Structure 1
Amino acid sequence: MELKKNPQLHILEADLIDHGSFFNLASQVSNVVKDKGLNVLINNAGISSKFTRIGLVKSEDLLNHFKINTIGPIMLTQAFLPLLKMASDKNKSANGVNKAVIVNISSILGSITKNDQGGFYPYRTSKTAINVVTKSLSVDLKNNGILAVSVHPGWVKTAMGGTSAPLEVEQSVTGICNFLKNIDQSHNGGFYDFEGKILPW
């Protein structure tokens, strides 16, 4: 509640299923940041179904996961790109979050190398896909000075992570913030955990 009293905090609502509304959201953000642009875009919203073996996979679950976990971040990034470019142009000598960064919240379950349990088809595939998106963004936007990284927040005690998760929200968020403070061109297009350790694709 105290955070809501901070004049620098602006809470805006977004429907992640309605991709067409993203440009209106970007316009609202533009009214806040004005000609400074947007330094950091964190694509965090996502969904996860229960553990699912191949015999129980439903096409609608796959489509829903991709719509929110993969297509949503792509289209949101597209809508916010002018603001990210503005921030990058305004801070040409800066780097990382002082310039312009896109952070896609991914998951270790999206790692092909680390997949030794199978299952989770809708969630895994959507998160593997967002890692591909991150890599493509890092290539496409390199000349604009905009970095892109994928971050695994850890297994966190949230509505999605459940009460058995070992990490508190504060631990994960603090770790991610500390990592983001120090990212530079060498991190561009990479996949990292919440402490900044590189993860395998």
Structure 2
Amino acid sequence: MLEEEYQQRRSLPRHLRKAEPAEAPFEYTLRDARAADLPAVREIYNHYVANSMVTFDEEPMTLRAWKTKFAYLDRLGMPFIVAESPSGQLLGYALVSPWKQKRAYRFTVENSIYLGPAATGKGLGRALFAELIERARAAGLKEMIAVIADQGAEASMKLHRDFGFEEIGRMGRVGFKFDRWLGTVLMQKSLK
């Protein structure tokens, strides 16, 4: 008798086995970002700076830089939301920022979504993205652009496609990080 057959025969029938402990539901609240959230936002973002190619930043972003960005986005009325656990831990964030500085681009934004490492794979990115799109529409924005690394960001490209973004172009070898050349994939969605 093979070892695996022996093990199968030795186990109890399913109805007699101990129940597996139920996994606690993944709970969170989506809300507007506040200045007090910025240290946690910085930590989430800087994790990706140090450990991935999804951002082309190579140096950690300072709290001062995040405060400046927060004030700028707030002044423009741009959506910036966070996901918070019942215990008050920041799990992730999503925001839009102007695509370009020229006034003619004022209705076009670029999105950013980042999750804390423990919050990935649980549907939070999808929930943040859906809320971000709705808030961008409500703010009168018309076009959303995503600039995604062409390596290591397959999940992000799939998420964008699932939300109706279409690939509009690629740029090869425009970034150099972790001793390798990287390109970008540009995706766009009309919010009308």
TM-score (norm 1): 0.30
- Relative contact order higher in (CA < 8 Å, ≥ 6 apart): 1
Larger Rg over CA atoms: 2
Counting strand residues as a fraction of each chain, which structure ranks higher?
A: 2
